[in-house]
Amino acid sequence: MAKSSQATWGGRFSAGPAELMLQFSESVSFDRRLAPFDIAGSKAHSAMLAHVGLITKQERDAIHAGLDAILAEIAAGKFTWETKFEDVHMNIEQALTKRVPAAAKLHTARSRNDQVATDMRLFFKHACGVLQEKIRGAERALLAAAEANADVLIPGYTHLQRAQPVLLAHHLFAWLEMLERDRQRLAEVAAHANWCPLGSGAIAGTTLPIDREFTAKALGFVDAKGRPQVTQNSMDTVADRDVFIEFAAAGALFGVHASRIAEDLILWSSAEFKFIELPDAFCTGSSLMPQKKNPDSCELLRGKSARLQGNLHTLLTLAKGLPLTYNRDLQEDKPPVFDTFDQTAMCADVLAGTLGGMEVVRARCGAAVADPALLATDLADYLVMQGVAFRDAHHAVGAVVKLAETNGVALNALATADVQQVHAGFGDDWAQVFDLKRALTKRTGTGMPGPAQVKRQFARWRKILK
Ligand code: ARG
C-alpha cells in the first residue's frame, strides 16, 4: 500500500513507498546509535550557516536548543523513532522541524551523503578511542600476570613441540606486543577518520558560500596544531568507505590475536599441560559430565574472530565494483561496523577478565621445563664455542639425543665418556649446559628471554601501560 509522500524528499513523487519498501530500506533500526554524532554534526553545520549569514543567529540558537532537547529525549529513551522516516538523519530532522520552524533551513548546503560520512567519521574517532582503552585493559591484565609469575619458566613451543625454555613473562610479553600493535593500528584508523566531509554535499559541494573549515574546527576535525582538516574531493568523500574497512580490519586482526592467545590458554589449561587454571568466572560446566570445566571464554574468543573477519569481508565486498559516488548499497556498511565495534569491545573485556583471573600452576610449569632436551640447542652452542662448526655440532648433539633415547635415560644423565665418544669436543663440563638458570642468563641480546632482557621489558611495559 502506498504511503503519503515523504516530507523530506517527496516533492517529485505522487505516491509514497510501499510498506515493504519502507521495511526494506529503513536503517533507523541500526543507525539510530549515530544520533549523538548526527546531532553534533547538525549543531556544527548550523553554527557555520549562521557564521556565513545563511541563517540568523536566532535561527541557529533555536536549532541548537531543539537538537539538545532531542538528544536528551533520546538519552532518556523517550524519543519515538519512526521507520517511515528511514534513517537517523531524517528522524531527527523531522522531530526538529515539528518543534522549530527554522529547522527547515538546517539541511541548507548539506546532503545525507556528506552527513552520514561525517557521522561515521565521528563514530570511528570515538570507537577507536574506546577500543584502545579496552585493549589497554587486557594488556594491563597481562602485565599483572607476568609480574605475579616473574620467575616462572616454561617450555616455548614450535610446531606445538617443546622447543626451548623461556620465562613465562617472555611468552606473555609476546602477546603484549600483538595487542599493542592492535592499539597502535586503531590510533592510525582514528587519524585517517580525522577529515571532515561536510560541505561535499551529495556529490558536487554547493553553490552557497559555506565555510568548510569552520565546520571542521567545530567538530574537532583538526590536526595536532588545531588546524582544520577537510576532505579534498567531494566525489571521493561521499563514495569513500576506506576507514570503515580499516576499522573492520583492525578489529579482525585483533580477533586473530585474541584467538591465538585463547588457543594457548586452552592448551595450557588442559590436563595434558595444566600450566594454568582458568578462572571459574570465565568457564562453564557440562550439562552431562560433572567433572568438566570448559574454557568457554577462550573458545568464544576464537569463534568471535571468525565473525570479525566476516565483517571485514562484508565491507570489502560491499565497496568492490560500486560506481562513483554514493549508492544506496552503502547503507549496508553500518551493521558490520557496529558489530565489529561491539564484539571487539566485548572480546577485549573478556580477554582482560580471563587473563586477570588466571592462576599459574608453578609445579607443572617447573616439571615441563625441566626436560633437558629443551637445552639440546645450547649443547650444540657449547660445541660451537669449542670451535666446532654449527652443522657438525648439530649433528653430534642429534647423535647424543638418539643415544639417550636408545639407553632410555635423560639427555643430561648420559655418561660423559659415552658423550665424548660421539664427539671429542665435549669436555668434562659438558653437563653444566643443563643448568637452566645459567642457560637463560646467556640469552642477553635484545628481544631474548634472558632475565636481564625480560627485566628491561618489564620496565618498558610498565611505562607504556602506566
Ligand atoms: N541512510 C543512508 C545511508 O546510510 C543515508 C544516506 C542516504 N543518501 C541517499 N542519497 N539516499 O547510506
**Average pLDDT estimate for 118-140:** 98
Q: Which residue is catalytic, options 107, 159, 200, 257? A: 159
> Is the pLDDT score of 112 beyond 80?
yes
Q: What is the 3 state secondary structure string of the chain?
A: CECCCCCCCHHHCCCCCEHHHHHHHCCHHHHHHHHHHHHHHHHHHHHHHHHCCCCCHHHHHHHHHHHHHHHHHHHCCCCCCCHHHCCHHHHHHHHHHHHCHHHHHCCCCCCHHHHHHHHHHHHHHHHHHHHHHHHHHHHHHHHHHHHHCCCCEEEEEECCEEEEEEEHHHHHHHHHHHHHHHHHHHHHHHHHHCCECCCCCCCCCCCCCCCHHHHHHHCCCECCCCCECECCCHHHHHHCCHHHHHHHHHHHHHHHHHHHHHHHHHHHHCCCCCCEECCHHHCECCCCCCCCCECHHHHHHHHHHHHHHHHHHHHHHHHCCCCCCCCHHHHHHHHHHHHHHHHHHHHHHHHHHHHHCCEECHHHHHHHHCCHHHHHHHHHHHHHHCCCCHHHHHHHHHHHHHHHHHHCCCHHHCCHHHHHHHCCCCCCCHHHHHCHHHHHHCCCCCCCCCHHHHHHHHHHHHHHCC
Q: For ligand 1, is residue 121 a contact (CB within 6 Å)?
A: no
Give the pLDDT of residue 15: 83
Q: Is the peptide bond before 441 cis (omega within 30 degrees of 0)?
A: no
Atom of ligand 1 nearest to the CA of 86: 1
Same domain, 308 and 426: no
Residue type, 135: I
| Domain-terminating residue out of 84, 108, 132 | 108
CATH number at residue 380: 1.10.40.30
Q: Ligand 1 mean position to 328 CA, how many Å?
A: 6
Alpha-carbon distance of 66 to 42, in angstroms, equals 11
Same domain, 325 and 246: yes
- Test site for ligand 1: of 8, 331, 337, most ligand atoms within 8 A of the Cβ: 331
**Average pLDDT estimate for 315-336:** 98
**Average pLDDT estimate for 103-126:** 98
- What angle (nearest 5°) sits at the alpha carbon of residue 85, between those of residues 199 and 214? 20
Q: For ligand 1, is residue 116 a contact (CB within 6 Å)?
A: yes
| Domain-terminating residue out of 108, 125, 145 | 108
pLDDT digits (tens, 9 = 90+) for 373-392: 999 999 999 999 999 999 99
- Test site for ligand 1: of 116, 118, 324, most ligand atoms within 8 A of the Cβ: 116
Q: For ligand 1, is residue 87 a contact (CB within 6 Å)?
A: yes
Same domain, 118 and 261: yes
**Average pLDDT estimate for 35-58:** 98
Give the pLDDT of residue 2: 43
> Is the pLDDT score of 143 beyond 50?
yes
Give the pLDDT of residue 404: 97
> Is the pLDDT score of 4 beyond 60?
no
- Dihedral sign, Cα of residue 14, residue 15, residue 16, residue 17: negative
- What angle (nearest 5°) sits at the alpha carbon of residue 295, between those of residues 294 and 296? 95
Atom of ligand 1 nearest to the CA of 202: 10
pLDDT digits (tens, 9 = 90+) for 305-317: 999 999 999 999 9
Q: How many domains does the chain have?
A: 3
Same domain, 362 and 375: no
Per the domain annotation, does 342 fall within a domain? yes
**Average pLDDT estimate for 292-317:** 97
Per the domain annotation, does 466 fall within a domain? no
CATH number at residue 245: 1.20.200.10
Provide the whole-model pTM: 0.95
Mean pLDDT of the chain: 96
> Is the pLDDT score of 3 beyond 70?
no
Per the domain annotation, does 417 fall within a domain? yes
pLDDT digits (tens, 9 = 90+) for 145-163: 999 999 999 999 999 999 9
pLDDT digits (tens, 9 = 90+) for 63-108: 999 999 999 999 999 999 999 999 999 999 999 999 999 999 999 9
pLDDT digits (tens, 9 = 90+) for 449-462: 999 999 999 999 99
Residue with the smallest CA separation from ligand 1 atom 4 is 331
Per the domain annotation, does 465 fall within a domain? no
- Test site for ligand 1: of 9, 28, 38, 113, most ligand atoms within 8 A of the Cβ: 113
Residue with the smallest CA separation from ligand 1 atom 12 is 331
Per the domain annotation, does 136 fall within a domain? yes
Same domain, 203 and 270: yes
Same domain, 360 and 418: no
| Domain-terminating residue out of 56, 90, 108 | 108
Per the domain annotation, does 13 fall within a domain? no
Same domain, 298 and 409: no
Q: Ligand 1 mean position to 25 CA, how many Å?
A: 10
Alpha-carbon distance of 49 to 37, in angstroms, equals 18
Q: For ligand 1, is residue 330 a contact (CB within 6 Å)?
A: yes
Check if 269 is active-site: no
CATH number at residue 44: 1.10.275.10
Residue with the smallest CA separation from ligand 1 atom 11 is 328
Q: For ligand 1, is residue 347 a contact (CB within 6 Å)?
A: no
CA atoms within 13 A on the CB side of 29: 9
Give the pLDDT of residue 12: 84
Same domain, 241 and 285: yes
- Test site for ligand 1: of 112, 241, 315, most ligand atoms within 8 A of the Cβ: 112
> Is the pLDDT score of 399 beyond 80?
yes
**Average pLDDT estimate for 315-339:** 98
Same domain, 335 and 198: yes
Q: For ligand 1, is residue 93 a contact (CB within 6 Å)?
A: no
Give the pLDDT of residue 11: 81
Q: Which residue is catalytic, options 4, 25, 29, 286? A: 286
Give the pLDDT of residue 14: 82
Per the domain annotation, does 5 fall within a domain? no
Look up the domain containing 433 and give its range: 371-451
Atom of ligand 1 nearest to the CA of 326: 10
Q: What is the band of 13 on the pLDDT scale with cuts at 50, 70, 90? A: confident
Q: Is 155 left (phi over 0), alpha (psi -120 to 50) or beta?
A: beta
Q: How far is CA 407 from CA 352, 402, 412, in A?
A: 47, 9, 12
**Average pLDDT estimate for 250-271:** 98
Check if 4 is active-site: no
Q: For ligand 1, is residue 149 a contact (CB within 6 Å)?
A: no
Per the domain annotation, does 101 fall within a domain? yes
Cell numbers placing 266:
586452552
Q: What is the band of 290 on the pLDDT scale with cuts at 50, 70, 90? A: confident
Under a CB-based contact definition with an 8 Å cutoff, are residues 54 and 105 in contact? yes
Same domain, 179 and 122: yes
